């Protein structure tokens, strides 16, 4: 499948992505999958500062660490701090993960059912240094669904950068197959450190070892990259 690559200067990246996201969420009834982490953080800040409004939108959290609730490195906490708490009003509905339940398999099934009710209009994603999307680590099959996953050491290290006071060994994530059923997908990529893995994802072979490479199967994917991230394309 073809994909649309939009290359922006670093100083325009957040403004442009936030503007187009605002156009999408101005349409009532949107169902969004949102990630957390350093890449979307400036987009969220710009979106909120520019009057972004999710009051007509259902938001699904992409993934979650197996960390004690309330910690700053939890994905729900990061989404709240980076976006939701900055908005004038909360989204119409927020669907997150309960990682405290004794039946995580049932919790992942619940998330699949919640999404299946109306699908996802747009899934925003980042790409990890090892090619992961969400917490779909290398080795994840293209037809994977929402599930509990063991975390790659690089992902565990990322949690420490976000302020985790414990090292998460596992997480829960929407599967690649689940994400590929979204009506549209945006892949957000910034910085020279992501240039090599982005090139592998877009130009290398489709392989479970680079889970993001499977996004090329989608019929409506936009890659938003700054100039450094796109330098090897």
Task: Using alpha carbons, list the distances in angstroms from residue 153 to 40, 88, 156, 208.
Answer: 22, 37, 5, 17
Q: What is the DSSP letter of 216?
A: G
Work out how many domains the chain is built from and give that number: 1
- The rounded radius of gyration (Å) of the Cα atoms in the chain is 16
Q: Phi and psi for 157 in degrees, rounded to 5?
A: -65, -35
Q: How high is the pLDDT of residue 2? A: 65
Count of alpha carbons within 13 Å of 152, Cβ hemisphere only?
19
Inside any domain, residue 119: yes
Q: How high is the pLDDT of residue 156? A: 84
Inside any domain, residue 232: no
Active-site residue, from 64, 137, 152, 218: 137
Q: How high is the pLDDT of residue 160? A: 79
Active-site residue, from 63, 76, 107, 226: 63
Q: How high is the pLDDT of residue 191? A: 98
Q: What global pTM score does this model have?
A: 0.96
63 catalytic, yes or no?
yes
Place of tokens 């100083």: 11
Q: What CATH number corresponds to the domain at position 129?
A: 3.40.50.1360
157 catalytic, yes or no?
no
| Domain interval for residue 45 | 4-226
Q: For each successive 10 residues of the chain (233 residues), what is the average pLDDT?
A: 88 98 96 97 98 97 95 96 97 98 98 97 97 97 98 85 85 98 98 98 97 97 98 97
Q: For residue 198, with 0-12 CB atoms within 10 Å meaning exposed, 13-18 middle and 19 or more buried, which class applies? A: buried
Report the DSSP beta bridge partners of residue 189.
225
Active-site residue, from 107, 121, 132, 218: 132
Q: How high is the pLDDT of residue 159? A: 79
How far from the centroid of its chain's Cα atoms is residue 227's Cα?
Answer: 21
């Amino acid at each position: 499948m073809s994909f649309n690559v939009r290359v922006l200067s670093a100083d325009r990246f957040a403004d442009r992505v936030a503007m187009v996201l605002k156009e999408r969420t101005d349409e009532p009834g949107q169902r969004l999958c949102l990630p957390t982490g350093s890449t979307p953080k400036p987009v969220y800040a710009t979106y909120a500062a520019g009057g972004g409004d999710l009051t007509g939108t259902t938001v699904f959290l992409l993934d979650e660490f197996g960390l004690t609730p309330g910690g700053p490195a939890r994905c729900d906490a990061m989404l709240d701090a980076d976006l939701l708490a900055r908005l004038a009003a909360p989204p119409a509905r927020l669907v997150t993960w309960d990682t405290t339940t004794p039946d995580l398999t049932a919790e992942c099934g619940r998330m699949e059912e919640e999404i299946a009710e109306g699908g996802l209009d747009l899934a925003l994603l980042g790409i990890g240094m090892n090619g992961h999307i969400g917490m779909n680590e290398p080795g994840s099959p293209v037809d994977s669904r929402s599930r509990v996953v063991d975390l790659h050491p690089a992902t565990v290290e990322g949690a420490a950068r976000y302020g985790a006071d414990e090292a998460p060994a596992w997480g829960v994530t929407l599967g690649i197959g689940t994400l590929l059923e979204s009506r549209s997908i945006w892949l957000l990529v910034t910085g020279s450190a992501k240039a090599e893995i982005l090139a592998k994802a877009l130009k290398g072979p489709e392989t479970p070892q680079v889970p993001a490479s499977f996004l090329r199967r989608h019929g409506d994917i936009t890659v938003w990259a700054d100039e450094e991230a796109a330098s090897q394309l």
